[in-house]
Structure 1
Amino acid sequence: MLINELTVRFGHFTAVDDVTLGVAEGSVTGLVGESGSGKSTLARAVAGLVPYRGSVSGVEAGRIQMVFQDPYSSLNPRMSIGDAIAEGVRGPRRHRDDEVARLLELVSLPAAYATRYPKELSGGQRQRVAIARALAAQPDVLIADEITSALDVSVQGAVLNLIRDLRAELGLTMLFISHNLAVVRYVCDAVAVMRAGRLVEAGPVDDVIGRPEDAYTRSLLDAVPTLART
């Protein structure tokens, strides 16, 4: 997927300013920056949720799915887990129950959870359901927008391990958004750094974290001492 000269404006405010970024097929590219840097707006533009100027190529329209930060707000509380996942399932309706069961198993949840509702699940379980629902549409690109930041620390690692496992098993192409460089290094192959709507640095994750060229990237690393020393 190639994001080319993408710009998002809200009135006179430029949220994303002329960003060009490639996401290699089968890879996980991290997008990092402080709150307000424009990373989530860029992700929403790529997913077709906000209007933009520029282009997104290398992926068909409708083949990009997004997993949001807060799994509870992204799930309909009146819809069962099975129905929520089945909404995105392609193919004959008679196969949907089997596919829902397969997707739940894929994110390490029992098939019996299909009859439950979001309020009956923990935050980590709801985020797994959100991931399963996104995967139901068989996306070419999966966008994960701060998917662990609303979760308890005790379950963040389990969700990150799930992402790594899914990437290995399915060969997913992902744009992974986070403010945490330690998380990005654990999950991603490449990383792009945004500041004030612009891309300031991008490259293989070990290069950007190990030998940052931009002062802003170095300031982000300084906020994570264990990374800054590596």
Structure 2
Amino acid sequence: MKNIKGRSDLVGALRTRLSGCGTLRAPTRGEAGRAGLPLASARRGLHDVYAATSADSASTNAFALGLGVGAAGGRPVVWALQHMADQESGRPYGPGLHQMGFRPRDLLLVRVRDAAALLAVGEEALRSPAVGAVVLTAWGEARAFTLTASRRLAMAARAGGGSVFLVRAAADPAPSAAETRWSVRAVASSPLEAGAPGRPAFSATLLRSRGGEATRTWTMEWDRERRVFVEPAPLSGGLVPLAAQRQAGARDGDMRHVA
């Protein structure tokens, strides 16, 4: 699809694309919260996910997408990115998303020019019953990210029965209506047999939770076959699933795009 400059045109194009996403599949009940981890996918609503440093932005996106898959319950995930995030940390890489276990039908990519358009796309996507989760990736500080804007996102998520993960890089944590607030950084993965690259690994710190969970940091890895977060494997082997389990089955083809 050609790039769309106007915000109203962008939202209209997204609405049209979402109308063709097919019938709604019932959400599945996951295992979020197992092993003491209060994963954001356990509750509907808004969740703030901050990159610990600008260099951690790619890992923070991957972490948020993993949470989105767990929250979506089999429905598609809409991932909207601000152009500045593309320029600073790189565009989404199809083979890399495939390696994380994402199928083309699972993910709808949207690129926007500014923070206001990002928020508008998020609200529109959350209104669609076909969408299970929304990931919004922003870069830097912006006046659009107000407490009122976060309340609008939170209300849209609760009304639509979905979850929204607002990824912020090069920005300081700020007050919002989010259910949880996270700080994420990349960590070294555990090598596999024969020196093969290990699973993507993350250090995730829960900074704030409306549910009352205490601040704490977890180290976890992403299992692409089961599409779940797992604890790093001990020497004896074995992994403990921490998030909602779903069957993988990647297809060939490009991810769908709007704008």
TM over 0.5: no
TMscore range, shorter length: 0.3 to 0.5
TM-score, normalised via structure 1 length: 0.43
